[in-house]
Amino acid sequence: MVLNALGIFGLVVRADLSPAAAVSAALVFVPGDVIKAVLCALVARGVHAASPGLLPERRWQGRRDPSYVSV
Ligand SMILES: O=C(O)CCCC[C@@H]1SC[C@@H]2NC(=O)N[C@@H]21
């Protein structure tokens, strides 16, 4: 969605399209982008399930329960 927003901005500034025309041009990409995002999430979930230690453990940084900090 950030890329789409930047693309709309670019179309307005560089291609001299009206904002409405730029939005409608960018809408063409949205279905494919949603499919790609879902596939990416599924692949990331599979990778994380196969290698749970791949990412560093998140540490609680809040103040309500300092004993929650594990390291
Ligand atoms: O080739 C170009 O100059 C335009 C590339 C456009 C890429 C954008 S990124 C968001 C949207 N989703 C895509 O898959 N392609 C466009």
What pLDDT band is residue 53 in, cutting at 50, 70 and 90? confident
Q: Greatest CA separation found in the chain?
A: 57
Tell me how far apart the alpha carbons of residues 70 and 66 are, in angstroms, rounded to a whole number: 9
Mutate to test the pocket of ligand 1, among 3, 4, 8 (most ligand atoms within 8 A of CB): 3
Angle, CA of 34, 57 and 65, to the nearest 5°: 110
Q: Is the ipTM of this complex over 0.90?
A: no
- pLDDT band with cut points at 50, 70 and 90 for residue 64: low
Whole-structure pTM value: 0.70
Q: Is the pLDDT of residue 52 over 90?
A: no
Predicted confidence band at 19 (pLDDT cuts at 50, 70, 90)?
A: very high
- Going from the Cα of 7 to the center of ligand 1, the distance in angstroms, rounded, reads 8
Are 19 and 8 contacting, i.e. CB atoms less than 8 angstroms apart? yes
**Residue 32, ligand 1, Cβ within 6 A:** yes
